[in-house]
Chain A
Amino acid sequence: MLRITCPHCGPRDEIEFRYRGDASLSRPGPEDDAKAFQRYAYERENPAGMHLEWWLHVGGCRRALKLQRDTASHVIGGAGEP
C-alpha cells in the first residue's frame, strides 16, 4: 500500500488515487512533425528507478498531482502540485 501525501489533503492511501502515467512528457507544438507526436503518444523511458508521474486524487480533493516514485522499491520521493 502506497501512502501518498497530497499537497492539499495530506497523507492518504493509494486507493483514493488514480494513476495517470508518465508526467515527464510534454506535448509537441503545431510546428513539430508526426514523429514527435508518435514519441509523445507512445514511446516511454519506463525507468526501473525514479519516475515522475501523474496521479489524480479522485477520492479526495479531485486535483491532479505530480509524484516522484521509485518503480523498483515503491519509495516515494515527493509529491507536489503540477
Chain B
Amino acid sequence: MQRYSAFRLALEALRGHGGWQPAWRDAAPKDRYKVVIVGAGGHGLATAYHLARDHGITDVAVLDKGPLGLGNVGRNTTIIRSNYFTAPNIRFYDHSLKLWENLERELNFNVMVSQRGSLNLAHSDGQRDLFARRANAMRLEGVAIEMLDKDAVKALCPLIDVDNGRYPVVGGFLQRRAGTVRHDAVAWGYARAASARGVDIVQHCEVTAIPREGARAMGVETTRGFIGADKVVLAVAGHSSRLAAMAGFRLPIETHVLQAFVTEAVKPLLDIVVTYGAGHFYVSQSDKGGLVFGGGTDGYNSYAQRGTLPMAEEVHAAGITLMPALSRLRTLRQWGGVMDMSMDGNPIISTTPVENLAVSTGWCYGGFKAIPAGGTCLAHLVATGAPHPLAAHFGLNRFETGAVIDERGVGPHPYLH
C-alpha cells in the first residue's frame, strides 16, 4: 500500500500527481475463499479489515452487487455518538467511538472525524428526567455527558428557538466527543486498508443463491459464478431478509426506508450536531456548507431507495419549528436508504441456524456510528466462533430466550422504532 503523508503529497505535487496508485485492487473472484463477506459497505469492509488485522485471516473476499460504498454507508447523515441508555449498548457504542478517535492513524486515510459535539434537546420536565437518567447510566459506564439548561442551550446554539410556543426547550444533554465523519471516506479507507492486507474486493458481483449441504452453506452463487467458502458472512443492510431466505431461514427484520436531505451550501452556521426532542429531526452542517438532516422512517415496509413526500414534509416542518432560520434555505437533494429494522430496535451480530453463516443486521438507522466496533466484533465471531464480549447481547437467540434489549421501551414493532 502506498502510504499517504504530507511528504508524499509534496512529492506528487512536484511530479504533477502522476505517481498515485489506485487505493484498492478491484479483484476478480477466485473459486474459493476461507471467508466470503456479502456486502462491501461499512460493516462488511470493516469486518474484512479486522479479520486480516486481528486474526490473520486474509483469504477473504468482500462481494458487492454494485460499486462499493453505494449502500447505506454513503446514504446516512454521518453522525457518531455513544449516548445510549442500556449498559451493554453504552459499552459497545463507546468502544466504537474510541475506535473512531484513532481511525485515521489506523487506516492511514483521512476520514475527517470531527468531534464537534452532539446536543439532544428536551422539551418537557418528563423528557428532561429521562435524559438525566440516560446521562447517569452513561456516567456509570465512565462516558462523559453534560446536562444543559435552557440558557446553556441558547448560548451553545443560538439558532434554536428555545421559546417556541408549542415545544419550548427546557434543556438537553451534550456529548462533546460525539460528532460527524465523512461517510464515503470510511468505505474507501477500510477498503484500501483491507485490500493492502490481501483481501479481495469484488464489485459488481451479486449473490443470487446460497446453496446448502445439510446445515452448512457451501458458498455463494453469484452473477460472476459460484464462489466456495468455508464461512459466509452477510452484511447487507436492507436486504438481509432476502439473503437469509436464500440460505433458508427467517430473520426478525423488516425493511423500511429512511430519508435524508441536504440544503444548499452556506457559510458556517451550525457547529454541532443537534437532535430535536419533540419530533424526529437531527441536523449537522457538512464541511462543504450544506445542512445535512434526516428524520424517522416513512413508516411502512419498503425496499425503494427513495422516500415519499409526507415524511419529507414532516421532517422539514420539525426542522423549521426547531430552527426557524432554516426556512430561508432551499433543500438541494433528497435520498433514501433501506434499513434493516429489527424487532427490538437493536442490532444483531450473530451466528444463524446455518452453521457456517454469520450475520450483521438489524442496525435500524444507527449502523454508521457502529462500523469500527461492528467490524471488530463480527470478525471476532467469524474467526473464533464465539461472540465478542462487547457484542454478546446482540445474538439472534435473544428473540427466543426473551432477552431482548429494552433501549427505548417500545414493543416488537419496527414502525415504532
A residues near B, CB below 8 A?
1-2, 13-15, 18-22, 34-35, 38-39, 41-48, 51, 53, 69, 71-74
Provide the main secondary structure of the chain A interface. Answer: mixed
Cα–Cα distance between A20 and B310 once the two chains are bound (Å)? 17
**B310 and A38 form a contact (CB under 8 A):** no
B4 at the interface (CB under 8 A from A): no
**Interface: B392 (CB within 8 A):** no
A44 and B252 contacting across the interface, CB-CB below 8 Å: yes
**Structural contact, B400 and A44, CB atoms closer than 8 A:** no
Contact of A72 among B304, B343, B399, B413 (CB under 8 A): B304
B187: chain A residues at CB < 8 Å are none
Query: With A and B bound together, what is the CA distance between A48 and B303 in angstroms?
Result: 6
Q: With both chains docked as a complex, state the minimum distance between the C-beta of B250 and any C-beta of chain A, in angstroms.
A: 4
A71 to B302, Cβ gap below 8 A? Answer: yes
> A21 and B255: CB pair below 8 A?
no
Q: Which interface residue of A20, A47, A53, A73 has the most chain B CB atoms within 10 A?
A: A47
Chain B residues with Cβ under 8 A from A14's Cβ?
308, 310
Q: Give Cα distance in the complex from A39 to B253, angstroms.
A: 12
Given A41-B399, A41-B412, A42-B343, 10 further pairs, Cβ under 8 A? A19-B415, A21-B415, A39-B250, A42-B252, A44-B250, A44-B253, A45-B250, A46-B241, A48-B242, A72-B302
A51 to B253, CA, bound (A): 14
A15, A18, A43, A46: the one contacting B301 at CB < 8 Å is A46
B158 within 8 A of A: no
Q: B397 to chain A: closest CB distance in Å?
A: 10
Q: Please give, as numbers and ranges, the residues of chain B lying within 8 Å of A18 by CB-CB distance.
A: 299
Given known A-B contacts A14-B310, A21-B413, A43 and B252 have beta carbons under 8 A apart = yes
Cβ of B300 under 8 Å from chain A: yes
